[in-house]
């Protein structure tokens, strides 16, 4: 199986373009799932304080005996920790649970605009990076107005923006902003969370058949060729292996264009919460 490629962040750090996400992996099952992911070949793990499974991620990392510099670990600041010096306390708690002295990427999980404290939270992440508690900093679920505001206030551009992104919901205003500011997009829910018939869609099914791959592999390949960082979630070893086996083929320009055309620009393809409504 091919080695996962890395992409360069705007701060000079490298990030594996495909990783393993542990959203909704039960805490009791996380150590096993992450251990299997590491055995299969994943080296990028994406978790968050609110997932409640940082301890399991840390236990799997410790048991793996992999060199720390071969792993890329992301966690996130939850919505009720934006004020005051709470971000520093929050990352300290996450690091203790993970058994690490620093993470590779720390994200503001949601902007929580009703509380109007995401600029403060972002400024604190800059301090945490400068203090060596995280190598890179970024945001998640931030829309263009949120991004414009944090950059104007701090002068610091996020390394990544992790957003819901899949063929029916491509968020092009955000991806265009990211391209203009050298910000990497991370796709969460890259397969639509099973909430619509993505795999039965003709462009996806046709691409999969043409390359003798599964529909999931065709969609993951679409993300990769678009330049997105992606981390599908599964707790089954065979699916972990399938999701990683996407580096031995390329979609044609026509196949990518056909999947691009599945976008619903009116936002009706969104399968999760709107960032302005999560507070």
Angle of CA points 139, 145, 150, to nearest 5°: 50
Q: In what order do the strands lie in the sheet with 103-108?
A: 20-21, 44-46, 72-77, 103-108, 134-140, 160-164, 184-188, 229-230
51 is catalytic: yes
- Among all chains, which residue has been given the structure tokens 């580096």? 247
- Which of these is catalytic: 20, 42, 51, 106? 51
The token duo for 258 is 């056909």
Measured CA to CA in angstroms, residue 220 lies from 69, 179, 272 at distances of 26, 20, 19
C-alpha distances out from residue 82 to 50, 90, 107, Å: 14, 9, 12
**DSSP strand pairing (20-21 vs 229-230):** unpaired
Cα separation values, 116 from 122, 141, 150, Å: 12, 15, 11
Tokens representing 193 are 């969370």
Q: Read out DSSP for 26-56?
A: -HHHHHHHHHHHHHHT--EEE--GGGT-HHH
Following CA atoms 254, 258, 263, 269 in sequence, which dihedral angle do they give, to the nearest 10 degrees?
Answer: -140
Report CA dihedral (200, 184, 92, 277) to the nearest 10 degrees.
Answer: -60
Looking at the annotation, which residues are catalytic?
Answer: 51
């Amino acid at each position: 199986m091919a080695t996962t490629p890395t992409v360069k962040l705007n701060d000079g750090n490298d990030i594996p373009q495909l990783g393993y996400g542990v959203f909704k992996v039960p805490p009791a099952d996380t150590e096993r799932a992450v251990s299997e992911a590491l055995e299969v070949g994943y080296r990028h793990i994406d978790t968050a304080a609110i997932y409640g499974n940082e301890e399991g991620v840390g236990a799997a990392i410790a048991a793996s005996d992999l060199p720390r510099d071969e792993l890329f670990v992301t966690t996130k600041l939850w919505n009720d920790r934006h004020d005051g010096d709470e971000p520093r306390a929050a990352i300290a708690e996450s690091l203790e649970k993970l058994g690490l002295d620093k993470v590779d990427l720390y994200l503001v999980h949601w902007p929580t605009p009703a509380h109007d404290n995401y600029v403060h939270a972002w400024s604190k992440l800059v301090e945490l990076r400068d203090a060596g508690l995280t190598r890179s900093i970024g945001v998640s679920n931030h829309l263009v107005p949120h991004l414009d505001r944090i950059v104007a206030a701090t002068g610091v551009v996020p390394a990544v923006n992790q957003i819901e992104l899949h063929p029916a919901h491509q968020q092009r205003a955000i991806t265009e902003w990211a391209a203009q500011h050298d910000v990497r997009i991370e796709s969460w829910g890259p397969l639509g969370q099973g909430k619509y018939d993505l795999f039965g869609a003709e462009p996806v099914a046709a691409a999969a058949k043409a390359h003798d791959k599964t529909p999931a592999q065709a969609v993951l390949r679409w993300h990769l060729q678009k330049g997105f960082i992606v981390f599908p979630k599964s707790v089954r070893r065979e699916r972990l292996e399938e999701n990683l086996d996407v580096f031995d083929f390329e979609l044609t320009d026509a196949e990518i264009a056909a999947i691009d055309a599945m976008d619903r620009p009116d936002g009706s393809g969104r399968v999760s919460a709107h960032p302005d409504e999560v507070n």
